[in-house]
Amino acid sequence: MHGAHFSLAATDTSLSAPAQDDGASNDADIDRPETAKGKRAHLPFGRLFVRLLSLVVFVALWQAASGNRLHLGLVNFQNVPAPSEVVPALRDLLQSPKIGAHVGSSLCRVFAGFVSAALAGIALGLMIGRSRWAADLLQPPLEMLRPIPGVAWIPLAILMFPSSELSMVFITFVGALFPVLLNTIHGVSGIDPRLIAAAKSLGAGRLRLLTEVIAPGAAPSIVTGLSIGMGTSWFCLVTAEMIAGQYGIGYFTWESYNLQSYADIVVGMLFIGVFGMASSVLVRKFGDLLTPWYQIGNACGHE
Amino acid sequence: MSDPHEISRSGHIESRDLSIGWRHGKEHFQAVDRVSFSIAAGQFVCLLGPSGCGKSTLLGALAGHIRAASGSLFLDGAAILAPSPERGLVFQHHTLFPWKKVIDNVAFGLKMKGVARAERRARARELLDLVGLSGFEDKYPVQLSGGMQQRVEIARVLINQPRVLLMDEPFGALDAQTRWIMQQLLLQVWASIRTTIVFVTHDIDEALFLADRVLVMSHCPGRIRDDIPVPAARPRGEAWLTSDGFIRLKRHCLDLIHDERPCANPPDGADLALQPAVSRLAEALI
Ligand SMILES: Nc1ncnc2c1ncn2[C@@H]1O[C@H](COP(=O)(O)OP(=O)(O)OP(=O)(O)O)[C@@H](O)[C@H]1O
Ligand SMILES: [Mg+2]
C-alpha cells in the first residue's frame, strides 16, 4: 500500500516549501507521515510563526542599518533606502501611469522570448533526441554556443537587430533556449526503450510515436527545463533592459540609479523578484496540469 | 460475448533455419542457432529453457523487433520483417504508458488505427471486463498492482485482435498466488479468443499447465531440444497438476534440464546467468 503518506515532500514544490527547507529540517520531516492523514497538511502554527518572525527581523535589521546610515567599512548602508522610504516610493509608483508601461513592456518581452525559446528548444530537443542524423547536424554549433551566457550576447544583439526591442527579445530567447533544449534532449533519451518497442508493436508509426510516446515521456523533464528557462530569461531580460531598454522593469531600476531616486531602485528590485518568481510558479503549475500522471507517480513514491 | 472477440482462425507460425546472433564487442555470439519449428493456428506453445538460451531473442524475432542473421520466419505464409499489431507482445515487466489512463492504454491500438474515441473506449471497456478490471478505467498504471498491470497489458494487446500473442515470462515477476490466478485467467481468455500463443517461461509447472505443446530449448547454441505435446484435456484444473501424466512429463523436462551443461566458452554477460540459472531451475522443481 503506497498511501498518500509520502506525498508531501514530493508534491509540495510551491513557494512555502523551497528546496533548502527539506534538508534543513530533518527532524520535522520525520513526523510528517503521522500528521498527514491523506490531505495536504499545513505548516504547524509554531513553524509558521518562526518564519514570519524571521521576515520581520530581516526588515527590522534593514531599517536599522539604513535608518542609522550605518557604515561597516566593507559595506555601506549610507545610500541604501530604508523600508520606510521604499514603501511610499512603491505607493507612488503604483499610482503613477508609468507603471503599466514598465511592467507591460517587460512582460511582453519575456513572453515573446520565452515562448519562442520554448517552441524552438522543444522542437530541436525532440529532433536531436530522436535522430542521430539531426544530432550530428545540429549539436556541434549548439554545443559551441551553449556556454555563452545570454548577457554576453547584448552587444552583438544590438548590432544584429534593427530595433533594441528585438535585440532584448533575442537575449531573453537565448537565456531560455538552452535549459529547455538540454532538458528536452535529456527527457527524450530517458524514455524506456521498451515503451517505444511496445508502441511500435501496437501499430504506432513515426509521427504517432512522437506525439503519443516521445513527447509525453519527455514532458516532466521538459517542464523542468521550462521553469529553469523562465528564471534565466527574466535574468537576461532585466540585464538587457538596463543597457538597451526604454521602459521595462530593468530599465526603471537603472534609470532610478541615474536619477538618484534610490528608493525606486529597491522598488524595481522588488518588482523583478515578484514577477520572476510568479512566472516560474506559473510555468510549474501549468506543467503540473500537463503531467497529472507524474504527480500521482510522485505521490505514490514510485520512480 | 465471444463474437466481438472472434479472431480469424489464422495464426500459423513457421520458422525455417532461423539463426540470430549478438555481437559482444568483437566476438559474435549465436543466441539462436538454425531453429526450425511450426506452430499451428490457435495453438498454445510454451518455450521452456534455462536462462540465456535465447528464448527472448527468438520471441523478439517473432515480434519483428530483432532481425535474423539467416533463415526466416513466417506468419500465415508472409515473412515477418517488422513489428505489427497482429503480433502482440507482452513482457515480464509491463510497458504500459505511464501518462495514459488504463482505458486509454488499452485503447491505444485502436487509436493507431484511427478508430473514433467513443468506439475505441467502448471496446477497451469490454476488454477490461474480460480481464476482470472493470472499474479501473480512470486509474493510471502506477496506481495498480503488478498483477493488474499485467492484465491491462494483456487487454491492450488483445484489442488489436492479434493473430499471435507473444508472451515473455509475463507472470515471472508476480507472487505465486497472483501467478496462479493469472494463469487461469489467461486460459479463460484464450478459450474465448482462440489466438495462437507463444509463451516463454522457465517454470516447468507453468509450461505444462498452460501449453498444448512445450518446446524445450538448450543453450550454447540456442536450439530446440525437444518438442513435447501436452495431451491433457481442457479446461485444466488443479487435478492435472497432480496427475501421473503431469509428473511423467515434468520428470522428462527435468531430465532434459539436468542434462544441460554450462557453456564451454560463455559470452560476456551470459556467463553470469547460465550456471546459477540451471541450478535454480532444478531447485525450484524438487
Ligand atoms: N541486447 C543484447 N545484446 C547482446 N547480447 C544479447 C542481447 N540480448 C541477449 N543477448 C544474449 O543472447 C543470449 C540469449 O539471451 P535471451 O535474452 O534471448 O535469453 P533468455 O532465454 O530470454 O534468458 P532469460 O530466461 O534469462 O530471460 C544471451 O547469451 C545474451 O547474453
Ligand atoms: Mg528472457
Determine how many CB atoms are found less than 10 A away from the CB of residue B42: 18
**What's the CATH architecture for B1-86+163-261+271-286?**
3-Layer(aba) Sandwich (3.40)
Q: Which residues of A touch B81 (CB under 8 A)?
A: none
Percent of chain A whose pLDDT exceeds 70: 84
Closest alpha carbon to B179 in B137, B214, B216, B150:
B150
When divided into structural domains, chain A yields a total of 1
CA B143 to centroid of ligand 1, rounded, Å:
31
* Residues B48, B215 contacting (CB under 8 angstroms): yes
Does the structure show a pLDDT above 70 at A38? no
Cβ separation of A194 and B112 shorter than 8 Å?
A: no
The mean per-residue pLDDT over the stretch B173-197 comes to 92
Does the structure show a pLDDT above 50 at A99? yes
Hey, is the C-beta of A205 within 8 angstroms of any chain B C-beta?
yes
Residue-wise pLDDT tens digits, A279-299: 999 999 999 999 998 888 676
Cβ separation of B140 and A217 shorter than 8 Å?
A: no
Domain residue limits at A250? 85-295
φ/ψ bin of B37: left (φ > 0), alpha (ψ from -120 to 50), beta (otherwise): beta
Contact B32 CB / ligand 1 (< 6 Å): no
Closest alpha carbon to A186 in A141, A126, A145, A226:
A126
Q: Which residues of A touch B100 (CB under 8 A)?
A: 216, 293
CA B158 to centroid of ligand 1, rounded, Å:
26
CA B89 to centroid of ligand 2, rounded, Å:
13
Determine how many CB atoms are found less than 10 A away from the CB of residue B152: 24
pLDDT at residue B29 in the model: 85
Q: Report how far residue B43's alpha carbon sits from residue B10's, in angstroms, rounded to the nearest whole number.
A: 10
Q: How confident is the model at residue A13 (pLDDT cuts 50, 70, 90)?
A: very low
CA B60 to centroid of ligand 2, rounded, Å:
10
In B, minimum Cα distance to A207 occurs at B112
Cross-chain CB nearest to B95 (options A195, A293, A302)? A195
Contact B55 CB / ligand 1 (< 6 Å): yes
Average pLDDT, chain A: 85
Where do the structural domains in chain B lie, given as residue ranges? 1-86+163-261+271-286, 97-161
Q: Report how far residue A264's alpha carbon sits from residue B165's, in angstroms, rounded to the nearest whole number.
A: 72
Q: How confident is the model at residue B25 (pLDDT cuts 50, 70, 90)?
A: confident
Within a domain: A62: no
Cβ separation of B95 and A203 shorter than 8 Å?
A: no
Does the structure show a pLDDT above 60 at A241? yes
CA-based nearest distance B235→chain A, Å? 30
Does the structure show a pLDDT above 90 at A144? yes
Q: Output the DSSP codes for B71-136.
A: EEEEETTEE--S--TTEEEE-SS----TTS-HHHHHTHHHHHTT--HHHHHHHHHHHHHHTT-TT-
Within a domain: A259: yes
Quote ipTM for the complex: 0.80
| Lowest-confidence region among A23-32, A213-222, B115-124, B197-206 | A23-32
Q: Which residues of A touch B84 (CB under 8 A)?
A: 201, 203
Q: Report how far residue B263's alpha carbon sits from residue B265's, in angstroms, rounded to the nearest whole number.
A: 5
* Residues B19, B36 contacting (CB under 8 angstroms): no
Contact B56 CB / ligand 1 (< 6 Å): yes
Residue-wise pLDDT tens digits, B44-100: 999 998 888 899 999 999 999 999 999 999 999 999 999 999 999 998 899 999 999
pLDDT at residue A32 in the model: 42
Q: Classify residue B53 by its DSSP letter.
A: S
Residue-wise pLDDT tens digits, A156-211: 999 999 999 999 999 999 999 999 999 999 999 999 999 999 999 999 999 999 99
pLDDT at residue A243 in the model: 85
Average pLDDT, chain B: 87
Residue-wise pLDDT tens digits, B260-286: 776 655 544 444 333 333 334 444 443
The mean per-residue pLDDT over the stretch A58-72 comes to 92
Does the structure show a pLDDT above 60 at A21? no
Within a domain: A303: no
The mean per-residue pLDDT over the stretch A98-117 comes to 94
pLDDT at residue B222 in the model: 86
CA B277 to ligand 1: nearest atom: 26
Cβ separation of A300 and B65 shorter than 8 Å?
A: no
pLDDT at residue A295 in the model: 83
pLDDT at residue B221 in the model: 79
Residues paired with residue B89 on neighbouring β-strands, in sequence order: B166
Class of residue B27 by CB neighbours under 10 A (exposed 0-12, middle 13-18, buried 19+): exposed
Q: Give, in degrees to the nearest 5, the angle at Cα A84 between A78 and A90.
A: 105
Q: Report how far residue A260's alpha carbon sits from residue A46's, in angstroms, rounded to the nearest whole number.
A: 42
Write the CATH number for A279: 1.10.3720.10
Contact B269 CB / ligand 1 (< 6 Å): yes
Q: Hunting for cell 498466488 — which residue is that? A: B177
What Cα–Cα distance (Å) separates residue A165 from each residue in A99, A142, A153, A160, A275? Answer: 18, 24, 14, 12, 20
This prediction's pTM: 0.79
CA B49 to ligand 1: nearest atom: 21
